[in-house]
Amino acid sequence: MKTKKWLELLVAGIAILTLVMLLTSVTGAASSNTGSIGFVDMEKLQNELQEFKNFQAVVKEKENSYKLYQGYIFSEHNSAIKVLQDKATSEKNGKSADEQATIEKRFQDDVKKKLDDTNGKLEKERAKIMEELKGLREKADENTKKLIGEVAADKKLTVVLEKNSVLFGGTDITDQVIEQAKKNEKKESKDESKTKKK
């Protein structure tokens, strides 16, 4: 449950970062005080563009991979705790109350160390996944920004905002951005097949 929550927070954070970038950037079109304003529906782009679909697939894959890793680590942790508990129990047999208290304290210290180690492993894996997802998301956002810039330049738009920040007016270029992405994908596909034939 925590894994899904932090992945949702990552996606939401990156979406907000994208919105801020779109709101504060001027596209490749020439700037002018009387220029035209366009807008895009980022939610639709994230649902339609292949790069975002690929990103979502990687998020699911990483989430599943993390759950498996987490299960393995918890199993390993529980086995280690059982071994420590059995060892402490056998050492306590026939010992005085003071010796048993010392053994119990050592057991509790060992359990705490093992718990810290387990949490450290999980946090390290989570940080690794988050960094990888952040890089993939940034790449998808950058490519989307380029697509928006291409369409904006073609439409002679000087500013492109996110749809939710536009109250009135502006030109919706969402569908043109999706079409531009499809054209670029076809071109890249042709270029790759030409390269493979050589």
Domain span at residue 160?
2-197
Instruction: Find the CATH number of the domain harbouring 150.
Output: 3.30.910.20
**Looking at the predicted structure, is the pLDDT value of residue 31 above 60?**
no
Geometric angle at alpha carbon 6, from 63 and 177, rounded to 5° = 80
Query: What is the total count of domains within the chain?
Result: 1
pTM to 2 decimal places: 0.65
Q: What is the pLDDT of residues 113-140, one digit of tens each?
A: 999 999 999 999 999 999 999 999 999 9
